[in-house]
Amino acid sequence: MANGKINVAVENIFPLIKKFLYSDHEIFLRELISNATDATSKLVHLSSIGEVKGEIGDPLIEVKVDKKSKKIHIIDQGVGMTKEEVNKYINEVAFSGAEEFLEKYKDNAKDSGIIGHFGLGFYSAFMVAEKVEIITKSHQNAPAAHWTCDGSPEYSIEKSGKKDRGTEIILHIAKDSKEFLEEARIRELLNKYNKFMPYPIKFGTKEETLPLPDDAKEDAKPETKTVDNIINNTSPAWTKPPADLKEENYKSFYRELYPMQFEDPLFNIHLNVDYPFNLTGILYFPKIQNDLNLQKDKIQLYQNQVFVTDNVEGIVPEFLTLLRGVIDSPDIPLNVSRSYLQADGAVKKISNYITRKVADKLNSLFKKDRKGFEEKWNDIKVVIEYGMLTEDKFYEKAGQFMLYPTTDGEYLTYNELETAVKDNQTDKDGKLMFLYASNVEEQHQYIETAKEKGYKVLLLDSPIIAHLIQKLEGEKENIGFARVDGDAIENLIKKEEATVSKMSDEEKESLKPLIEAVIPEKKYTVQLEAMDSKGLPFVLTQPEFMRRMKEMQNTGGGMMGAFPEMYTLLVNTNHELVEQILQTKTAKKRERLIQQSLDLARLSQNLLKGEALTAFIKRSVELIK
């Protein structure tokens, strides 16, 4: 038996490990299973190049919890270590054996999937254990070794009688970490970190029901048999070549990732690149609802099939955090801060690659099956709009498949839209105006009026549309967007209409103060307009600019400061009722007519609420009595 002192620069690294190495103590299990997996990968690799002779079978990794004696065992059948190797790899802290292995076999070991990197993984065991033992036998013909360390830098190493190849790590769980002696807690961790690791991991056993033989009697009970309980899927879909996968495989993998998710994803994007960086994964487009924040953080990040985090901020462009799925890359540096990540060149490349793949996929879906794409549009548009707003590269590509739906259920590309409206939707300065509605129900009357005039009305109703419109107006020349119930539409209507006013200028002059006297609040600007006599007597519009700024504020960004509620009250001088207002001699009756017309205009904008609504209903009853 030999005793020694673990070779570390700091006198006592253990308290440091315990406190600072990882804030999350639970990752000890991930680290130890990663080491077991690495040892197995090495064995498989050495066997494949003939350095390990004979059959290696199907190496298994086993996790056992022994609550009574307060121990956890992690057992593998990998390469094992000689005594010398234990000295080298375990006693020399921060000397990563994984990196040395990769270095030595660098020409052919790249694809062997070694996980270790930092050389401190093993010591994370001391975050939860007061004593750790390693019993290990190398694949080389050497006696097995038994290493013990109680958490101080002193350790002992002696011979062991272990006969079969591989390593057993025994953790004597510390008092403050008793939670890890609960089977349920360990199962939870295995499910979180190790669900897709490449070698089978056994945790306990389970009963399996055997199928009944064909000639079984009717009341025959099926037999059961005790089998290993394997907790992982060793070859998850993202590790397979896309050509080997069918639609159904992608869907079932989605259900494997999100067992509580009942809705199928709309489509998927298989990521697969090995140069200039290594990255695989599958992204899914779920149906995106309007509440964006609720849906973020569903993408899982893996390194060589080990779960790392579901916070991919800084790695994936913001707009894509609305998607789901997995990304697996050994090339993402994870031992650094998020803000550093964003500046890291490799990470930037990865993020650009993902953006481009998503754009290409959308484009090909659009080209291949436009109708199918249109059907999905409402469920994916937010991601696309979000991407156009935040990633210039995506904006450039999205021009080809961004769709502008109309209130009549057409879906137009930008070019198609331009062609469709260029002849009759320009204002007096020759600027092309796109009309849009944000709510078919609430803006029904305005939409109808615009359509009667032969205008195309788009339906743009996502929560961030105001931002995108603002951007489009800035990027494209001589175009503008105007909501149907806004003031900008007047420019178009007036030009088209050329309706003659039935009212003389003197009449108008006496009408305006009559109305202003009754309109209570300062927020209405009264404006007399000769409009269609079959239209409404009063129409409310809101300045496009004000409304848009307000919307932008509500969804973040836009100009600061409170924007007042401001409306223009258009009084249709060609309307019979307005004529009547002017002719009515009794002040009371006139006031009632004005009030009623204003309330009707407010009602059609969904602005009549509370007390005002009650008063309106009362007045209406009076009027029809």
Query: Which residues of this protein are in contact with Mg ion, per CB under 5 A?
Result: 35, 116, 121
CB closest to Mg ion, residue no: 121
| Rounded least distance, CB 301 to ligand ADP, Å | 18
The 3-state secondary structure of 264-302, one letter per residue: CCCEEEEEEECCCCCEEEEEEECCCCCCCHHHCCEEEEE
- The candidate with the shortest Cα–Cα distance to 116, out of 149, 76, 89, is 89
Q: Is 89 in the site for ligand ADP (CB under 6 A)?
A: yes
Q: 129: which strand partners?
A: 173
| Rounded least distance, CB 77 to ligand ADP, Å | 10
Q: Which of Mg ion, ligand ADP, none interacts with 572 (beta carbon under 5 to 8 A by kind)? A: none
Residue 129 or 528 having the CB closest to ligand ADP: 129
Q: Is 394 in the site for ligand ADP (CB under 6 A)?
A: no
Which one-letter DSSP state was computed for residue 89? I
| Rounded least distance, CB 188 to Mg ion, Å | 21
| Rounded least distance, CB 166 to Mg ion, Å | 16
Q: Which of Mg ion, ligand ADP, none interacts with 89 (beta carbon under 5 to 8 A by kind)? A: ligand ADP
Asked if 465 and 385 count as a contact pair (C-beta separation under 8 A), the reply is: yes
Which one-letter DSSP state was computed for residue 581? H
- The candidate with the shortest Cα–Cα distance to 271, out of 292, 287, 250, 294, is 250
Stretch that binds ligand ADP, among 76-84, 178-186, 277-285, 420-428 (CB under 6 A): 76-84
d(CA 372, CA 225): 48
- The candidate with the shortest Cα–Cα distance to 385, out of 401, 370, 369, 374, is 401
Asked if 206 and 162 count as a contact pair (C-beta separation under 8 A), the reply is: no
- Nearest 10 degrees: Cα torsion 368, 371, 377, 378: -160
The 3-state secondary structure of 470-518, one letter per residue: HHHHHHCCCEEEEECCECCHHHHHHHHHCCCCCCCHHHHHHHHHHHHHH
Q: Which of Mg ion, ligand ADP, none interacts with 39 (beta carbon under 5 to 8 A by kind)? A: ligand ADP
Stretch that binds ligand ADP, among 30-38, 466-474, 540-548, 607-615 (CB under 6 A): 30-38
Q: Is 59 in the site for ligand ADP (CB under 6 A)?
A: no
3-state secondary structure at position 124: helix
Helix axes 587-604, 505-518, angle to 10 degrees: 80
Residue 36 or 327 having the CB closest to ligand ADP: 36
| Rounded least distance, CB 289 to Mg ion, Å | 40
- The candidate with the shortest Cα–Cα distance to 135, out of 153, 160, 155, is 160
Strands 524-529 and 479-483 come out as: unpaired
* Token representation of residue 446: 């305005």
Strands 61-66 and 201-209 come out as: parallel
| Rounded least distance, CB 134 to ligand ADP, Å | 8
Stretch that binds ligand ADP, among 78-86, 320-328, 387-395, 453-461 (CB under 6 A): 78-86
Residue 95 or 267 having the CB closest to ligand ADP: 95
- The candidate with the shortest Cα–Cα distance to 189, out of 128, 271, 111, 99, is 128
d(CA 415, CA 552): 26
| Rounded least distance, CB 2 to ligand ADP, Å | 18
Q: Is 113 in the site for ligand ADP (CB under 6 A)?
A: no
3-state secondary structure at position 570: strand
d(CA 185, CA 298): 22
Residue 116 or 314 having the CB closest to Mg ion: 116
Q: Which of ligand ADP, Mg ion, none interacts with 120 (beta carbon under 5 to 8 A by kind)? A: ligand ADP
Stretch that binds ligand ADP, among 112-120, 319-327, 431-439, 565-573 (CB under 6 A): 112-120
Residue 119 or 200 having the CB closest to ligand ADP: 119
| Rounded least distance, CB 330 to ligand ADP, Å | 12
How many residues bind to ligand ADP according to rule CB under 6 A?
23
Q: Is 84 in the site for ligand ADP (CB under 6 A)?
A: no
- The candidate with the shortest Cα–Cα distance to 273, out of 197, 338, 351, is 351
Q: 66: which strand partners?
A: 71
Binding mask 157-196 for ligand ADP (x = CB under 6 A): ----------x-----------------------------
| Rounded least distance, CB 148 to ligand ADP, Å | 15
| Rounded least distance, CB 116 to Mg ion, Å | 3
| Rounded least distance, CB 225 to Mg ion, Å | 36
Binding mask 115-154 for ligand ADP (x = CB under 6 A): -xxxxxxx--------------------------------
- Nearest 10 degrees: Cα torsion 534, 540, 545, 550: -140
Q: Is 76 in the site for ligand ADP (CB under 6 A)?
A: yes
Q: Is 98 in the site for ligand ADP (CB under 6 A)?
A: yes
| Rounded least distance, CB 35 to Mg ion, Å | 4
d(CA 296, CA 41): 34
Q: Which of ligand ADP, Mg ion, none interacts with 391 (beta carbon under 5 to 8 A by kind)? A: none
Kindly list the strands in the beta sheet with 267-273, ordered across the sheet, starting from the edge strand earlier in the chain: 267-273, 279-285, 324-328, 298-303, 306-309
Stretch that binds ligand ADP, among 75-83, 527-535, 583-591, 610-618 (CB under 6 A): 75-83
| Rounded least distance, CB 203 to Mg ion, Å | 20
The single residue among 14, 35, 132, 231 that binds ligand ADP, judged by CB under 6 A, is 35
Residue 81 or 403 having the CB closest to ligand ADP: 81
589 sits in which H/E element: helix 587-604
3-state secondary structure at position 411: strand
Q: Which of ligand ADP, Mg ion, none interacts with 79 (beta carbon under 5 to 8 A by kind)? A: ligand ADP
Which one-letter DSSP state was computed for residue 78? S
Query: Which residues would be at the binding site for ligand ADP (CB under 6 A)?
Result: 31, 35-36, 38-39, 76, 78-81, 89-90, 96-98, 116-122, 167
